[in-house]
């Protein structure tokens, strides 16, 4: 193990110890909420990595495709991004609002 690696290991160990000390100070009735926060954080990190991996795969496929197909795919992507910028229909906005309101633990 090189010097930099051992410093990183020590730093991570210290962070974990500090995290455990903070958790020990959480009142028992708040532990379920903390667990939910930690689970959501971990899930978000996994989703972010998955999104990055999928984006990289898509870019690799695009780069490897023939020039005509690449131009067509670029045009489709451009249309997709432009459609995301268009305002939603009122009904879509209402349906989205109802879904958001129905989610447990979400406040706006």
Which token pair is 10? 């020590």
- Please, what's the b/e burial string for 80-99 (b: 16 or more CB within 10 A of its CB; e: otherwise)? eeeeeeeeeeeeeeeeeeee
Taking the model in full, what pTM does it have? Answer: 0.45
DSSP category for residue 25: T
> What residues does each domain of the chain span?
12-64, 66-102
Read off the pLDDT of residues 60-104 as tens digits, 9 standing for 90 and up.
877 787 888 778 877 887 777 777 666 667 677 677 667 666 665
């Amino acid at each position: 193990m090189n010097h930099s690696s051992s410093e990183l290991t020590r730093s991570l160990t210290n962070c974990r110890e500090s995290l455990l000390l903070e958790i020990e100070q959480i009142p028992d009735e708040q532990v379920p909420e903390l667990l939910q926060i930690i689970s959501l954080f971990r899930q978000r990190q996994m989703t972010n990595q998955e999104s990055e991996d999928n984006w990289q795969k898509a870019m690799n496929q695009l780069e490897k495709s023939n020039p005509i197909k690449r131009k067509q795919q670029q045009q489709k992507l451009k249309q997709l991004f432009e459609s995301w910028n268009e305002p939603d229909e009122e009904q879509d906005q209402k349906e989205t609002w109802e879904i958001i309101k129905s989610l447990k633990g979400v406040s706006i």
